[in-house]
Chain A
Amino acid sequence: MRLIFLSQDQLEAEERLRVQKSYSTALVSSHREPPPYGHRKGWVPRSLEDFADGGAFPEIHVAQFPLEMGRRKKTSNALAVQVDAEGKIKYDAIARQGQGKDKVVFSKYTDLLPKEVLNEDTPELQKPDEEAVKELTEKTRLALEKQVSQKIAAAMPVRAADKQAPAQYIRYTPSQQGVAFNSGAKQRVIRMVEMQKDPMEPPRFKINKKIPRGPPSPPAPVMHSPSRKMTVKEQQEWKIPPCISNWKNAKGYTIPLDKRLAADGRGLQTVHINENFAKLAEALYIADRKAREAVEMRAQVEKKMAQKEKEKKEEKLRELAQMARDRRAGIKSHGDKGGEDSEARERDEIRHDRRKERQHDRNISRAAPDKRSKLQRDQERDISELIALGMPNPRSSSEAQYDQRLFNQNKGMDSGFAGGEDETYNVYDQPFRSGRDMASNIYRPSKNIDKDAYADDLDTIMRTSRFAPGKEFSGADHGQRRDGPVQFEEDPFGLDKFLEEAKQHGASKRPSTSSRSKDDYHDKKRRKE
């Protein structure tokens, strides 16, 4: 048996033919199958179902779009799959969408792998040679100059009109030829002239309008791994507490005290005091004590010395006095022999003593000049001291007192106030108390203080016992003993009892509102007042 090796398509076609033949007598089939190969003359596939899972039919010369492939879609952002020279699919076409095909865009993984460490001499690492660089420099310079000159020319003031290029002639051969067109001529000559620009013309268009910026160039693919995810712990580490100022509170927030002091950090530090402070304090204390002791000792010593000196002097003086007394006694003893009358002698002695006393006083006053007399002392006191001591008297004179400076003046009207000087203190002309009439001004209360009020004999008035509160009127009732100034009667309505009961009840069982509230109200009123 010859084996006929048939291809897959042929097998299918035969199958289909068989099926069709079998179904030709049966019901009409729902699927419209395309006619088999060879039987397709005049048949045109028009709808999707005509293709029936297959492709386009090359022998039918009609534009066919099986599976809607190949139709020109109006808007689609689908990129056609492109394949490079080696047959690999160019996946970076997506990254290169909006740009020219020779723009350098790094999108492959190999672009971010480190390369071989190259030797220094490899040609890839060498700078381009001088000529290329010079050329580039020249090109750049010219381009930049053009830009700059354009910018400057736009800003420059009006200059003379530019000379236009001379007229150009163009020979034009129109496509529509014929006797009617162009009056039979085959060609035309056109003279092209640049239109003159008015040099004084202001700019034609407004350029102060702001328009939104155009879309930026397509973003470059990101050539690094995405940043690591932030863990909750790390986020907590970077939390910054809100600032609570000790000085400002703009929104007027009420912030609890512990938060106010939270940022201070005062409680966190342990206060370290240098021990030298304590040492210093102790040293000062000791020094002070020592100094005091030294001073005291010195004072004592000095006092002793002074006392000794004083005693010495007194001794000396006593001796001198004794000597003088002896001398005088000696003299006196001479005089005594003259008058031996005892009275005369007594009188003499008295006289002598008195003289001696007077001399003594004079001596003391001479000797201790700082021991002023009381009068002198009072004279030198300040006026406020005198007032405090209660010494002065208000001015007893009742007549009007005039400023002594007003009298005996030979100046005119504007002579008052010492010419307007503010510095001089010239409010008063005489001192308040000169102290001359101190003695007469001293107030001494007399015995009859209450003379005006009670007449002359205050004592007799005090001793009368005519007025006794307990004394009754003659003819009045007896037996009423007085407890106080006002005598209350026995209450006829029994209010006392009632009130007492009420108080008791109120205290124990139910609070009585009426009496209680009244009391409270009064209490409160009193308290308020």
Chain B
Amino acid sequence: MDVQKHSVHTLVFRSLKRTHDMFVSDHAKSVALDEESRTGASVSDIHRHAGGAERSHAHSTVVVGYRVFQHSHLVQLKFPNEVQLYLFIICLFLFQSLMEGGGTRNSALTRKAPTMPKPQWHPPWKLFRVISGHLGWVRSIAVEPGNQWFVTGSADRTIKIWDLASGKLKLSLTGHISTVRGVAVSSRSPYLFSCGEDKQVKCWDLEYNKVIRHYHGHLSAVYDLDLHPTIDVLVTCSRDATARVWDIRTKANVHTLTGHTNTVATVRCQAAEPQIITGSHDSTIRLWDLIAGKTRVTLTNHKKSVRTLVLHPRQYTFASGSADNIKQWMFPDGNFIQNLSGHNAIINTLAVNSDGVLVSGADNGTIHMWDWRTGYNFQRIHAAVQPGSLDSESGIFACLFDHSESRLITAEADKTIKVYKEDDTATEESHPINWKPEILKRKRF
């Protein structure tokens, strides 16, 4: 068998990697000190420093048996004269201080073996239904709380309601003058909210299928909206660099959240602090205090526009997607957790599962599936466009898991809605995890 020629750097790196994998589970920590090797090393050091004291004839023997060696090794050393003895004691003190300084750090932690995070296995997702019916790009999706139907808003100015189980069209609502950019279904009242590029935010009563309220105030196209889960409040974000908080019943504009300097592309609401999170085209994410109507934290880590945000359903974390990479953050202060890099495209949408599957949909039609915890990209999908569409007309504008978290619904640029489900026939063996984390990623500075 031919031996593959590698550079010295590669070989060293590989051996380091293998050593780490075999002996060290936690890559971020430095190697733990081993007791026996440490004692052996210290003994050899002392021998070196004492300069062959043991070789001399027995003049005065010093039995050094106190605290230096935890395993109470007794070493007999002989010293010719007093000066050497004193020097030896000083050296011992120095060594002890060094070793104890390291020892306290490790004594507690070396008991528990640190675990290397292994990504959780998720079955791959496959396309199982394509729904066509819209006459323009499908820009937004929302699923009703009872999981019976879902709503889509499109560039053909209509809002269509589809049956989730069969994919059949149930209802078409017209009223917007321009592209419908955001839809949301309220879980507290039978209302559907929609916002469009015509500056309108409409509230539809689903019992009568009519518009009952308009929320007037935005100065430019409204790009996204979200409903607060516990308070009857609607938050919309717009191209006029503001997000507005509306009281649903009275249509009053409670707060105008200013601070962004460019289009606010996405907004999310939650019940815990911070209650409103916005992502904008000025590459910042702002976490807002809803009571005061002011920014709590500004996150400036992204380099390109933040087009999408998603809140984890069970954890107190969220993720933001932008053209450079996807970042995960912690609440309530927005501490940065990690980067999920690999999807090198303009990310238009993110969605998260309770199982920890993060889906990122991009402007070029590709979908990447990630494991939330470790950031392992386990699948890449690029679905074919609807027959009759150009190949360049592939792009994903919105994606969403239904409430059962078993179906992924995506709204695409070839005017179709694609529904994906998990492949039941796949197992860990058929689709193995190919996890290659970058070891140099987590250096301590």
Query: Which positions in A face B, CB cutoff 8 Å?
Result: 103-106, 109-118, 120, 124-128, 132-133, 136-137, 139-141, 143-144, 147-148, 151-152, 216-217, 220-224, 227
Report yes or no: A115 in contact with B273, Cβ–Cβ below 8 A.
no
Q: Which of B300, B316, B445 contacts A110 (CB 8 A)?
A: B445
B17 lies within 8 A of chain A by Cβ: no
How far, in whole Å, are A148 and B232 apart by their CA atoms in the complex? Answer: 12
In order of increasing CB-CB distance, the 5 nearest A-B pairs are A220-B298, A117-B117, A114-B338, A143-B291, A223-B301
| Closest CB in chain B relative to A143 CB, distance in Å | 5
Are B330 and A136 touching (Cβ within 8 A)?
Answer: no
How many interface residues does B have (CB within 8 Å)?
48
What is the CB-to-nearest-CB distance from A137 to chain B, in angstroms, rounded to a whole number?
5
Q: Is the CB of B254 within 8 A of A217?
A: no
B379 touches A (CB below 8 Å): no
- Chain B 189-231: CB-based contact to A (< 8 A → 1; otherwise 0): 0000000000000000000000000000000000000000011
Residues of the B chain whose Cβ atoms lie less than 8 Å from the Cβ of A114: 336-339, 441-442
> Which chain B positions have C-beta within 8 A of A128?
272-273, 316
Report B115-146 CB contacts with A as 1/0, cut-off 8 Å. 00100000000000000000000000000000
A109 CA to B356 CA in the complex, in Å? 29
Beta-carbon contacts under 8 Å, B241-265 to A: 245, 247, 250, 252-255, 259
Determine if B295 is an interface residue (Cβ-Cβ < 8 Å).
Answer: yes
Given A110-B445, A117-B373, verify A152-B250 contact (CB < 8 Å).
Answer: yes
Q: How far is the CA of A222 from the CA of B300 in the complex (A)?
A: 5
CB-CB under 8 A for A120 and B338, given A114-B441, A217-B259: no
Closest to A116 in B: B28
| Sampled A-B contacts (13; CB under 8 Å) | A104-B297, A111-B336, A112-B301, A114-B339, A115-B335, A125-B315, A125-B316, A136-B272, A147-B255, A152-B250, A220-B284, A220-B299, A221-B300
CA distance A217 to B288 in the complex (A): 13
Q: Please name all residues of chain A whose beta carbon is closer than 8 Å to the beta carbon of B375 when the two chains form the complex.
A: 117
In the bound complex, CA of A227 to CA of B302 (Å) = 11
CB-defined contacts of A116 to chain B, threshold 8 Å: 28, 442
Which residue of B301, B373, B445 is within 8 Å of A109 (Cβ)?
Answer: B445
User: What chain A residues lie within 8 Å of B302 (beta carbons)?
Assistant: 224
Contact residues, B144-168 vs A (CB, 8 A): none
**A110-B445, A114-B339, A140-B291 known; A148+B252 contact, CB < 8 A:** yes
* Residue pair B295, A217 in contact (C-beta under 8 Å): yes
Measured CB to CB, the closest approach of chain A to B320, in angstroms, equals: 13
Most buried by A among B271, B335, B375: B271
* CB-based contact B316/A133 at 8 Å: no
Most chain B beta-carbon neighbours within 10 Å: one of A105, A110, A112, A148: A148
- A111 in contact with B335 (CB, 8 Å): yes
Inter-subunit contact A112/B336 (CB<8 Å): yes
Contact across chains for B231 and A144 when beta carbons are under 8 A apart:
yes
- In-complex Cβ contact of B338 among A110, A115, A133, A224 (8 A): A115
Q: How far is the CA of A125 from the CA of B311 in the complex (A)?
A: 12
B336→A133 contact, CB < 8 A = no
What residues on A are CB-neighbors of B254 within 8 Å? 144, 147-148, 151
Q: Which residue in chain B gives the minimum CB-CB distance to A226? A: B303
Q: Mark B263-292, 1 if CB is under 8 A from A, else 0.
A: 000000001110100000000100000110
Assess the A141–B231 pair: CB atoms within 8 A: yes
List of A residues within 8 angstroms of B298 by Cβ: 220
Residues of chain B within 8 A (CB-CB) of A143 are 291
A8 to B101, CA, bound (A): 36
Q: Across the interface, do A133 and B272 meet the contact criterion of CB distance under 8 Å?
A: yes
- Interfacial chain A residues near B178, Cβ < 8 Å: none
A151 CA to B338 CA, complexed, in Å: 43
A151: contacting residue among B252, B259, B290, B336, CB under 8 A:
B252
Min CB–CB distance A296 → chain B (angstroms): 52
Chain A residues, Cβ within 8 Å of B84: none
Residues on A with beta carbons closer than 8 Å to the beta carbon of B50: none
Closest B residue by C-beta to A225: B303
- A115-B336, A144-B245 known, 10 other contacts, Cβ within 8 Å: A114-B336, A117-B117, A136-B271, A147-B254, A151-B252, A221-B300, A223-B299, A223-B301, A224-B301, A224-B302
Residues A127 and B255 in contact, CB atoms below 8 Å apart: no
Residue from the set A103, A106, A110, A227 with the largest chain B CB neighbour count within 10 Å:
A106
Contact check, B275 vs A140: say whether CB atoms are below 8 A apart: yes
Which of B290, B298, B356 has the most C-beta atoms of chain A within 10 angstroms of its own C-beta? B298
Bound CA span A491–B393, Å: 99
- Interface residue? B314 (CB, 8 A): yes
Task: Report B280 CB to chain A, min CB distance, Å.
Answer: 13
Q: Is B96 located at the chain interface by the 8 A CB criterion?
A: no
Distance between Cα atoms of A227 and B442 in the complex (Å): 22
B contact residues around A127 at 8 Å (CB): 272, 314-316
**Residue picked from A117, A217, A222, most chain B C-beta under 10 Å:** A117
CB of A216 within 8 A of CB of B259, answer yes
* A137, B230: Cβ atoms closer than 8 Å: yes
Q: When chains A and B are docked, how far (Å) is the Cα of A487 from the Cα of B75?
A: 161
In whole angstroms, how far apart are the Cα atoms of A116 and B231 in the complex?
Answer: 35
State how many angstroms separate the Cβ of A445 from the closest Cβ of chain B: 83
Indicate if the CB atoms of B339 and A104 lie closer than 8 Å.
no
Residue in A closest to B313 when the chains form the complex, CB atoms: A127
Closest to A126 in B: B316
Q: Give, as a whole number of angstroms, the nearest-CB distance from B258 to chain A.
A: 8
Within 8 A of A (CB), among B294-339: 295-303, 314-317, 330, 333-339
| Residue contact B300 to A220, C-beta cutoff 8 Å | yes
Q: How far is the CA of A80 from the CA of B336 in the complex (A)?
A: 30
Smallest CB gap from A144: residue in B? B254
B374 in contact (CB, < 8 A): yes
Residue of A with least CB distance to B245:
A144
Shortest CB distance B257–A (Å): 12
A136:B315 contact, CB within 8 angstroms: no
Taking the closest CB of chain B, its distance from the CB of A286, in whole angstroms, is 40
- Residue B233 at the chain A interface, CB threshold 8 Å: yes
Contacts of B275 in A (CB 8 A): 136, 140
Contact mask B369-390 → A, CB, 8 Å, 1/0? 0000111000000000000000
On whether the beta carbons of A140 and B442 are closer than 8 Å, the reply is no
A112–B117 Cα gap in the complex (Å)?
A: 21
Whether B231 lies near A137 (C-beta < 8 A) is yes
User: Do residues B337 and A126 form an inter-chain contact, with CB atoms below 8 A?
Assistant: no
Q: In the complex, what distance in Å separates the CA atom of A302 from the CA atom of B248? A: 96
Q: Which of A139, A144, A222 contacts B233 (CB 8 A)?
A: A144
Task: List residues of chain B with CB within 8 A of the CB of A125.
Answer: 315-317, 330
* Distance to closest chain A CB from B86 (angstroms): 25
B273 to A136, Cβ gap below 8 A?
yes
Nearest A residue (CB) for B294: A217
